[in-house]
Structure formats: structure tokens, C-alpha cells
Structure 1
């Protein structure tokens, strides 16, 4: 069922979509689900597909003229449309299939509003593109406030390492200054980006190409930017077609420290 506020603004649409997908993911958790092979060891489950269908229903009802790029259903509408939604209905499918609750539901309007829902905590992190909040059931929305106080840094260790030998995330963990200043965590889902925006993590680091238009990363990047985090590629350049990977940090000091370590390894 689409929330009554879903047509009021883009942030409400993103939030309603993420919540609808999270409801499906939570309901189907623990069931024996058929795996849909996507090649190269990747797969989807019936929960991925069902959650995406629910999210698309929300977007179509509220924004019928917008294009959508879904992780499971692909492109719908013109790829170069002025308004395009990016949907990852279950980020952390491997975790989910293994009975691990560290997953996220990501919905983002390219260069606009976005939402990341945690199906099991009930938290929905969302932004209108300028400010970022977290919503709990039955509680007032709270502003996201990044902080590096936890000293916890999530690092994506999934292979392959496309920037090797210049950069490998696993090498960052062995850097003496990293060992001295931070504590590593490996969440294996972009929920970690929402946690950077919310102050639950000091930073998040991943390799890769242009992540700005990725169904996996767009919502988390939008949250971090709106919350005031420092967001660049692993080379320090802005996220975009010429960039590579992602470093999202709670503050300038943390970002600077991580960039110095990455450059020294390169």
C-alpha cells in the first residue's frame, strides 16, 4: 500500500518506496528462496524481485512520467531522461540469503532525493537533496549528524580490486596509521554509507569506477552529501565519470587521513 504522503514531494516518494521494499524484505526473511543466477557468482532471490516490484509500484503511482533503473528489472523509460530513479531493492543479497540481517533498500532520484531503509532496525535514512534525516516508527524525524567519534571505518573488500596494484582496500587495513587511528568493519552493503551520515561510522571506502549513477551507491552518496560528509573518489577527485571508487568520511580530518594513507600505498 502506498503511503498517503507519497505524492507530496520527491523525498516522500523515495521514503515511501524504500519503506515498501523494506516491508517485503523483512516479511520474506528466513524463507527458502530460489536463487536467480546473474553470472560471475552474483545472484538475486525472490525477495529482491518482489521488493523491487513494490518499490516500482510506489514510484509509478507518484511519478508516472519518470524513468527508472532497477537492479533486477533494468531500464524503464529513457536512459537519458531528466528524471530517473535508481532502485536497489536488496543491497546485501548474499548476507540476506545466508540469514544475515545486514542489508539495505536503496531508492534515489538521480541528483535529487534519496532514501535508504534498514528493514530490520526500522530506520529509514532520507534526504531531499539538501538536508538528511532519519525516521523511526513513532518518533519525530532527526537530523543526521556525521561524526568520526566511533573511529570505525567500513571497507569494501569484495574482489576484484579494479585499481590494483595502485590501490587495494585490503592493503589499507594494514597501513600502520590506519591500525593506530581506526578500527575496520566490513558490512558488505551500502547501509554503511547511511551509517557514516548518521555518525555510526567514521568513514566508508570502496574501489570501483563511477559510482554516482549506481543503483547500489546513489542513495548512500546522496545521504552523505546532504548530511555534510566529505565525499570523493579514492583519488580525491569528485565522484563522476572520471572518478574511481569512493571515500565518504564524517569530516575533513578523517577524509584527509584516509587519503594520505591511500596515496602512500599507491
Structure 2
């Protein structure tokens, strides 16, 4: 059934923007794309740029006075009202550039509603900052995290700000990890939405300032609203001072992963 949900105006903007960006990503898939070098092996493509433009058009039309931080365009407008949108138009650019359909489009209002769109499945995972759903074929279903898959996604991409004390790759050699879980590496924050949806038991990454990151803000918001356990790698509350991220479907999975991380550090 189609859901009616609180705080719907901003949630509708987030969903509409993510869906529009996903449409652009899907349309441009498989085309010959130019690469824009961003240094340290990172790059954007024409699809990243066009998808961000499409997303910003939606946000500017609906919320002309809000500030926006885009992965490609940077900061636009001052968040004097405290309303800041975070946009990652194509998370998984390297996957996309080599013809792998594992990407996400992330749109989040800081400390508010957010949406994560999968351009190829057509799913949109979203939250009004209270509850989380997945929309597929215009049907909204409340998200239900589950530890049952036993699949844990690890982000192995640099940088590694917590090294040498911790790298997500360290978990691959932990005897208890091999006994309890099966690792997966999709190299896109779509995996965070999968934790909220019960498709992954957990997601682990290193990094700083993740709640205000264009890459992670939307996925974190969806996970938290779905009832996942979301902390830093030290088990501390996820905020600007925490390091890394452990998002787990339930307390038992979270505690087991944190114990493995601590045993390594």
C-alpha cells in the first residue's frame, strides 16, 4: 500500500531528487563517458555531473532558500537557516565506469529526511527522520533490518585514517568473523541501505565526519530510522567526533563486530 508519512514535504523532496538523479544515472549507463580527474585515483564522470545537476534542480525548485553541498559542485548557498542538503549523485563511480550496476544516489537533509536510490533495481530507501521505508513500483514497505543474511559489507577503499590500529580489511583475518559472517565488498554506500532493508547484517567502514558526509549521511539516516544499531568503530555514538562506522541489524551483531574490532586495536 502507499504510505502516508509524517514530515512528508522534505521526505518527498528527498525522494523526488534521488529518483531524478537515479533516472539520469540509468539513462547514461553504458555510454562513452569522459572522466574528470579529482586526484589520488578518484574521478567523476559526465553522469556524476549531470545527475547532480538534475538533483539540484529538484531541490532548488522545492527549497530555493536551502543550502546544498554536492559531491561534484561543492557548497552552494549558506546554511543560515540550518537547512543543508547533502548530495552524492553517484556513489560507486568506479563500479559504474566499468559497467557494474552497483551504485547509489544519496540525498539527505542534514538531521532530517533522506533518500538512497538504486538506479537499476528501481528501489528508493527513504526516511522522514522517524521511520524508514523502501519504495518499489510506487509501493512503500517499512524497512525491517535482520541479521539473518550473515553478510557483512566492508568498505576497503582508502583513505584509512585509523590505520595502523584499524582497517576494515583486518576483519577478514579474524577467526570469529570467518566463523560468524560472510564478507561482501560492493564499494558503494548502497550497502548501508541494504542493512536497513535486511539484505545485509552489517556494514563497516573507516573514516571521519561521516554523519555530515555526502557519501554517508543518507544511508546513516535510513539505517537509524529503520532501527539499526549505528555507532563509530569504537562503539561510541555516531557524530562529528566519532571514527568510522558500524551499522548493524541488531545488538548482537553489533556487539560481536565491535568486540572483533577492539581485539584488533
Please, what TM-score do these two structures have when normalized by structure 1? 0.95
Partner of 1:207: 206
Partner of 1:173: 172
Secondary structure of 2:215's match? coil
Partner of 1:141: 140
Shift in Å at residue 159 of structure 1? 2.5
Partner of 1:198: 197
Secondary structure of 2:152's match? strand
Alpha-carbon distance in 2 for matches of 1:64, 1:258: 43
Partner of 2:15: 15
Q: How does 1:1-266 map to 2 (within 5 A)?
A: 9-79=9-79, 81-138=81-138, 140-266=139-265
Q: Deviations over 1:195-215 (max 9, x none)?
A: 000000000000011201000
| Cα distance, 1:204–1:8 mapped onto 2, change above 3 Å | closer
Partner of 1:4: none
Q: Deviations over 1:209-233 (max 9, x none)?
A: 1201000000000000000000000
The number of residues matched between the two structures is 259
Alpha-carbon distance in 2 for matches of 1:197, 1:230: 10
**Gap runs ≥5 in structure 2:** 1-6
Runs (4+) of structure 1 moved beyond 6 Å?
none
Please, what TM-score do these two structures have when normalized by structure 2? 0.96
Q: Deviations over 1:15-39 (max 9, x none)?
A: 0000000000000000000001111
Alpha-carbon distance in 2 for matches of 1:215, 1:171: 26
| Aligned-pair Cα RMSD in Å | 1.1
